[in-house]
Amino acid sequence: MLTERYLKTEKDLIGEIWQTSQIYENMLILADDIGSRFPGTPSEKQAQEYLVKKLKEYGYENARAIPFTYFGWKRGVVTLEMKEPVKREFNAISLAMSPGGNVDAEVVDLGTGSPEEFEAVVSADVKGKIVLCSSATSPTGKRVHRRTKYGYAVKYGAVGFIFMNHNPGQLAPTGSLRPSYRMGGEIPGIGVSLETGKLMQRLAKGKPLRVKFSDASKVKPDSVSANIVAELPGRTDEWIVVGGHYDGHDIAQGAMDNLSGTAVTMELARVLKPYEGKFRRGIRFICFACEEIGVTGSTCYVADHLDQTESTAIMVNLELGGLAYTDGMKHAAFTVYQPPAMRQWIEEFLEEVAYPTSIRAGMSAASDHWPFVMQGIPAIYMHEEPSMRQLVQGRGWGHTTADYMDKVDPRNLQEGTMLMARLLLRLATQRKKIAKHTPLKKIVKSLEKSGMRKTLEVQLKWHPESPR
């Protein structure tokens, strides 16, 4: 796939990535010195300034912050008290985009909160109650997103939502409840650790469980954030978009999820800068904001740049939490979102570079590729190789107070960056068209056939006629 002309370029890129420590150095500053980069916090603004400054140091005079408005959110203190059948106080935290408020009601335990578990009861069993469910995989072995579980709770008339971590360690989970590019949550939602949730269940001993919780969090409409963009022009008007989100949740550093993807995006921008104007296609590097509150930054970017849809040849999403994880699989892997022909392209690429790994096809609305997918743009995703750990642990340390730099292995990220640099080199230089855009009708039909439309409707993310 790679012409003789670019073989030396490839070797130079690999050497430059392997012989420097820029990935880890950028991560240390953004994590240890700056912080979580959560939307609306001072650390988010500091991160934006740092990323733009660093990209300019790399030679990108076009590096800039592109602002957008959204429904912001500020975390408040949560109190949780068990009232029946015994009295006891517990620790809990708010879930992002919870509107806050006070709830005093009976708890209905819906297991993992899967659609099947909700559909096995009637609305009357849930209406006026607080839904308790865990982050575990469903009884049928599927991972169901938290926003889906919350959406069903709202749909069934619940007045509150308690999300229990299924992993041990006294780690209360956080995560968003609604897409902040459109709205905040309708009912208060909080997160509790596995140990807290199980203790409440044991104390109830089969009797009705009633709790009272207070959440002082607030939704803040008309908030402003910004995506960070830098461009490496090519010889044509075609562009490759590559990037990941720089925000993490405000209870930790978000080192794995997804500072790792941001650091790799920055490193790719650094090592490819000397080749400006030498490739057929340009590369647009984007560090997206507000992904953790409903894939908001990328959605707003696409909505504000619809005129660039046709000229965007492909979107490559870097959500690399698993690849950064010290105890995870040590190899990068790929998912193809659309079109199916990209799978063969990646297979040929991996064979050429002698990098054995997995490729799968799939569809997910929970990361920054999604708004590009809905515009028909070809999209792929680099992540860690699938493993049993993923199925059992799910996010693992992610979305908890444990997502810190001590969990990160920069060697894995260097390896992933080298592989991605080689992939981008081929995408940017090949003469033939990378892939065809997918018509909206075909996308909608596929989502309906797979049942994903129903999930998106429950999450209030079904709006194919408009990016936001």
pLDDT tens digits, residue range 370-380?
999 999 999 99
For the chain, domain boundaries: 4-72+221-459, 76-216
Homologous superfamily (CATH) for 4-72+221-459? Zn peptidases (3.40.630.10)
Q: Is 409 exposed, middle or buried (0-12, 13-18, 19+ CB in 10 A)?
A: middle
pLDDT of residue 390: 63
Q: Is 299 helix (H, G, I), strand (E, B) or coil?
A: helix
Angle subtended by helix axes 410-429 and 260-272, to nearest 10: 50
Contact 160, 191 (CB under 8 A): no
Which pTM was predicted? Answer: 0.96
pLDDT of residue 116: 97
How far apart, in whole angstroms, are the C-alpha atoms of residue 132 and residue 150? 10
401: tokens are 């107070």
Q: What percent of the chain has pLDDT over 70?
A: 98
Give the HSE-up count for residue 293: Cα atoms under 13 Å, Cβ half-sphere: 31
Give the HSE-up count for residue 103: Cα atoms under 13 Å, Cβ half-sphere: 30
Q: What would the mean pLDDT of 126-136 be, rounded to a whole number?
A: 98
Number of helical (H) and strand (E) elements in the chain, helices listed first: 15, 16
Q: What percent of the chain has pLDDT over 90?
A: 92
Q: Which residues pair with 22 in a beta bridge?
A: none
User: Residue 345 carries which side chain, given as an amino acid letter?
Assistant: W
How far apart, in whole angstroms, are the C-alpha atoms of residue 219 and residue 100? 8
**For the chain, first and last CA: distance in Å?**
37
- pLDDT-based confidence at 14, cuts 50/70/90? very high
pLDDT tens digits, residue range 218-267?
999 999 999 999 999 999 999 999 999 999 999 999 999 999 999 999 99
CA 306, chain centre distance (Å): 22
303: tokens are 């909505």
How far apart, in whole angstroms, are the C-alpha atoms of residue 267 and residue 316? 15
Q: What would the mean pLDDT of 325-347 be, rounded to a whole number?
A: 88
**Residue 329 clears pLDDT 80, i.e. is over it:** no
pLDDT tens digits, residue range 392-413?
667 788 899 999 999 998 889 9
Give the HSE-up count for residue 394: Cα atoms under 13 Å, Cβ half-sphere: 20
CATH number of 76-216: 3.50.30.30
